A and B are shown apart, each in its own frame.
Chain A
Amino acid sequence: MAGLLTFTSSSIYCATANVHIDPWKPVDFAIITHAHSDHAKPGCKHYLAHKDSASILKLRLGNDISLQTVEYGEKFSINGVQFSLHPAGHVIGSAQIRVEHKGEVWVASGDYKVQDDYFSAAFEPVPCHTFITESTFGLPIYKWRPQQEVMNDIREWWKENQVQDKASVLMGYALGKMQRLVKNLQPFDHKVFAHGAIYNVNEQLRNAGFDLPYIPRVTADIDKKEYRGALILGTSSSLNTPWLKKFEPYSTGYCSGWMAVRGAKNRRSVDRGFVLSDHADWNELNWVIAETGAERVYVTHGYTDTFARWLNEKGIEAHEVKTSYGDEEEDVLPEEVVA
């Protein structure tokens, strides 16, 4: 079926405009929903993204990329096709791409979450005829609690560790999760340190003018006593690595939507799993699709077959689509999609 957008072997493609959305192979013109590495791949001749994505895209794809930025809601035309970007609430600068041609509206949403994280612009549903959705947590077992409750749990855990003179090593995705944590856990009354990868992202964002506190990086010359009672921000891949040794004694916490299931937490042998995700949960996915008023839905990654079947049974035409985005078929919770 020739729609306004099609699913090719390299991207979500708009043939009329000759524009690719989140291509996983190098193309001439790429519109990027957000700067996570499964959506923003190197090698394209020209990129377009929201302006808040610029600093991280340059950090990850190189300072010399050809990059054009826009504001949310700013309309621009390519070959008669009208485009605009709208907040997706997933990470800083993340956007849904609205594409309109001859009265037909498609929205490619990339990754999104509905709860406001007070750092990325809050999600807004965009009315459309056809909606392209993720389904990372497209099972009814995934239902998030309000963010504030999870932050309280984290604070309580940190306090308990302080009483025992332990360091609290809190792990999660460096881009998105960590800024969300910092924004919502501050002000800090104890020391906080960050893994180099997180430090780099934070500093890049601070230099670009975003309001984040300075958090020193963990370095070899820091006296180990400094870590007693401190909060250490680690990446998802720090778990069970020698990097942790210097913090002993410590307790580990891991922030991810996957932590909703005991088995997922226990298999990672972390002390605490905090259910905190930058993706929509089951109820939110359903709410968003209802809000868009879409007649047709394409499900790109996650529990695609399940979620598409559910939508079809509810009377919404839905199709599974194979893409290279954080696909459960390719990766079981790899570091890059455990967001």
Chain B
Amino acid sequence: MKRFTNLFLQLDRTTKTNEKVELLKAYFLSAPEEDKIWALALFTGRRPPRPIKSSQVQEWALEQAGIPQWLYRESYSSVGDMAETISLLLPASESTSDKTLSDWFHDFIDLAKKTDDEKKAFLINAWKQLSPYEIFVFNKLMMGSFRIGVSQTLVIRAVSEATDQEAAVVTHRVMGNWDPQVTTFKELIHAENLADQHSKPYPFYLAYAIEDELDELGQPNEWFAEWKWDGIRAQIIYRNKELYIWSRGEELVTGKFPELHAFADFLPDGTVLDGEILCFTDERPLSFNVLQTRIGRKNVTKKILQEAPVALIAYDLLELNGTDIRKQSQEYRRQALEDLYKSTSAFPAFRLSRLLDFQKWDDLKSLHKQSRENIAEGFMIKRKAAAYQTGRKKGDWWKWKVDPLSVDAVLIYAQKGSGRRAELYTDYTFAVWDQGKLIPFAKAYSGLTDAEIRRVDHFVKNNTVEKFGPVRTVKPKLVFEIGFEGINASTRHKSGIAVRFPRMLRWREDKPAEEADTLENLRQILSQYR
């Protein structure tokens, strides 16, 4: 545990990518074999389920610290992280512990079967053996959100350097379904031919937003353009007579989409498709909101299957007859995808992403204006000569999104942020006018510069009307242009409207609050674009 705590501490002290990779690399070169797999699991979001409910952890921590609940909440709102708050509140430890990372995890796993009293005794005893920073890391291990500014890409770079393997190979191995309880680091990273490798998706190739004018891309005939769909990016894998559906978040989502199981009946063995999962009715895609609601449900009911059936809009082919064809050109892969599509008996869940017809860049520009009518977010523009690359890379794939929808709204509530913004009021609620009243319609956290945040924070502190726990009601004075990607009717919101990805586009310092937009404005946008 000391070694891992130290790694965590060192990572926390630097913002430099190269230093982080060096630290991780040193860890993977020197840590005990059985610890490495747990570290890798943590850094790639595979923490085992919480052994103790966080409400219990909190309750027992307060008991130890001798402070009331309200004081905990005040403390938490200044720290912004539960694991850290508890580590700062607990009394100083009495002894030390030599347990390793994997020892602790085995204890956590055993805890699942224990009674509440046993859990409590375990936890209090553990805290008494750990220093404050160790308690912080320990709490994270136990309950994470385990985010410390180390992306999966960084970890993979470190592991690949430490084990002397290609990063793409490591990525491929780390993605997918493995369990630190049964898989060893050696098996996962070094072993060559494992049966479970069949399930693994390829790392997704991700596009950057286009920065320059289209003309800068060169000749239009060197490029493909397609609608950019607003669904779930996914790979459909059919290998060894088994079907796997992976989302871009590297989640295995096969069970969520029974409609797509038909791919197993139609695809030849050794096929990997890349595309977008969307809900369709009457040949028309439905908004992302429908899909999101469906994913949120625990079970896929008949009703859902009827009302919001999904299909895959395929736009790339990564593996054909068991051969990885990612190094082939986009044009080659597109042709292979079309051939595959044609040779597959038609079934409704398999659709092909249409290539847009254009001669000049100007054609594309005028077509772009029809994005919203086509329920698309804009275009994907792909170089015909492009290989399918790993991760977010510039140059060959670009996304060209439509401008967000926007309204001018008034800041009415503010709350402190978390993590690095824990002392500042950074989380805001915005309202629009309706019959002389301000009706809240969206929360937004992002879009302002640090300097603007400090100014808004200052405003909040000097213009507080009321405090409700961590939330402050402020005088309705500041106006912001709020951008969003989608809009839907909602019975769960007071405004009757739910917007997707709201964010602050700019601070309208020129606009008095009275001139902000109205709920009627929002309803108009809703009727235009839903």
A residues engaging B (CB < 8 A)? 139-143, 258, 260-264, 266-267, 269, 271-272, 303, 306, 309-310, 313, 328-330, 332-333
Q: Is B427 among interface residues, defined by CB-CB distance under 8 A?
A: no
Partner of B462, one of A266, A267, A330, A333: A330
Inter-chain contact A263/B81, CB cutoff 8 Å: yes
Among A143, A258, A262, A264: residue with most chain B CB under 10 A: A262
Question: Beta-carbon contacts of B1-32 to A below 8 Å, as 1s and 0s?
Answer: 00000000000111100000000000000000
Residues of B within 8 A of A141 (CB): 75, 78-79, 85, 88-89
Residues of B within 8 A of A313 (CB): 68
Residues of B within 8 A of A329 (CB): 461-462
Partner of A266, one of B74, B75, B89, B419: B419
Residues of B within 8 A of A306 (CB): 71, 74
Among A263, A264, A332: residue with most chain B CB under 10 A: A263
Given contacts A140-B75, A141-B75, A329-B462, contact A263 B421 (CB under 8 A): yes
B234 CB, nearest partner CB in chain A, Å: 35
Inter-chain contact A262/B68, CB cutoff 8 Å: no
Inter-chain contact A261/B461, CB cutoff 8 Å: no
Inter-chain contact B423/A263, CB cutoff 8 Å: yes
Inter-chain contact A261/B84, CB cutoff 8 Å: yes
Chain A residue nearest to B66 (CB atoms) is A140
10 more CB-based (< 8 A) A-B contacts, given A139-B78, A140-B67, A332-B454 = A140-B65, A140-B88, A140-B89, A262-B420, A266-B419, A269-B15, A272-B13, A313-B68, A332-B424, A332-B457
| A313-B70 Cα distance, complex, nearest whole Å | 12
| Between-chain CB contacts (< 8 Å), 21 pairs | A139-B75, A140-B65, A141-B89, A142-B88, A261-B423, A262-B12, A263-B420, A264-B422, A264-B423, A267-B423, A269-B15, A271-B13, A272-B13, A306-B71, A306-B74, A309-B70, A329-B462, A332-B423, A332-B454, A332-B458, A332-B461
Inter-chain contact B421/A267, CB cutoff 8 Å: yes
Chain B residue nearest to A313 (CB atoms) is B68
Partner of A262, one of B81, B89, B457, B458: B81
Residues of A within 8 A of B454 (CB): 332
Q: Is B404 among interface residues, defined by CB-CB distance under 8 A?
A: no
Q: Is B268 among interface residues, defined by CB-CB distance under 8 A?
A: no
8 Å CB contacts to A: which residues of B444-476?
Answer: 454, 457-458, 461-462
| A143-B85 Cα distance, complex, nearest whole Å | 12
Given contacts A140-B65, A262-B81, A332-B457, contact A303 B74 (CB under 8 A): yes
Residues of A within 8 A of B418 (CB): 263
A229 CB, nearest partner CB in chain B, Å: 20
| A332-B459 Cα distance, complex, nearest whole Å | 12
Residues of B within 8 A of A303 (CB): 74
Chain A residue nearest to B85 (CB atoms) is A141
Q: Is B220 among interface residues, defined by CB-CB distance under 8 A?
A: no
Residues of A within 8 A of B84 (CB): 261-262
Inter-chain contact B420/A310, CB cutoff 8 Å: no
| A330-B80 Cα distance, complex, nearest whole Å | 21
Inter-chain contact B71/A330, CB cutoff 8 Å: no
Inter-chain contact B71/A263, CB cutoff 8 Å: no
Question: Beta-carbon contacts of B271-307 to A below 8 Å, as 1s and 0s?
Answer: 0000000000000000000000000000000000000
| A313-B458 Cα distance, complex, nearest whole Å | 30
| A140-B75 Cα distance, complex, nearest whole Å | 7
- Sorted nearest first, the 6 A-B pairs with minimum C-beta distance are A141-B88, A263-B422, A266-B420, A267-B420, A263-B420, A141-B75
Residues of A within 8 A of B67 (CB): 140
Chain B residue nearest to A261 (CB atoms) is B79
Partner of B78, one of A143, A261, A310: A261
B114 CB, nearest partner CB in chain A, Å: 29
Residues of A within 8 A of B80 (CB): 263
Partner of B423, one of A142, A330, A333: A333
Given contacts A141-B88, A303-B74, A333-B423, contact A263 B15 (CB under 8 A): no
Residues of B within 8 A of A264 (CB): 422-423
Among A141, A328, A329: residue with most chain B CB under 10 A: A141
| A330-B423 Cα distance, complex, nearest whole Å | 13
Chain A residue nearest to B89 (CB atoms) is A140
A322 CB, nearest partner CB in chain B, Å: 12
| A264-B416 Cα distance, complex, nearest whole Å | 13
Chain B residue nearest to A266 (CB atoms) is B420
Question: Beta-carbon contacts of B364-408 to A below 8 Å, as 1s and 0s?
Answer: 000000000000000000000000000000000000000000000
B76 CB, nearest partner CB in chain A, Å: 9
Chain A residue nearest to B65 (CB atoms) is A140
Residues of A within 8 A of B423 (CB): 258, 261, 263-264, 267, 332-333
Residues of B within 8 A of A310 (CB): 71
8 Å CB contacts to A: which residues of B408-433?
Answer: 418-424
B313 CB, nearest partner CB in chain A, Å: 41
A276 CB, nearest partner CB in chain B, Å: 16
Residues of A within 8 A of B13 (CB): 271-272
B11 CB, nearest partner CB in chain A, Å: 11
| A263-B65 Cα distance, complex, nearest whole Å | 22
Residues of B within 8 A of A272 (CB): 13
A318 CB, nearest partner CB in chain B, Å: 14
| A261-B12 Cα distance, complex, nearest whole Å | 12
| A181-B311 Cα distance, complex, nearest whole Å | 66
Chain B residue nearest to A283 (CB atoms) is B91
| A10-B89 Cα distance, complex, nearest whole Å | 37
Residues of B within 8 A of A271 (CB): 13-14
| A266-B457 Cα distance, complex, nearest whole Å | 18
| A26-B471 Cα distance, complex, nearest whole Å | 36
Among B15, B65, B75: residue with most chain A CB under 10 A: B75
B389 CB, nearest partner CB in chain A, Å: 31
Inter-chain contact A143/B88, CB cutoff 8 Å: yes
Chain B residue nearest to A327 (CB atoms) is B461
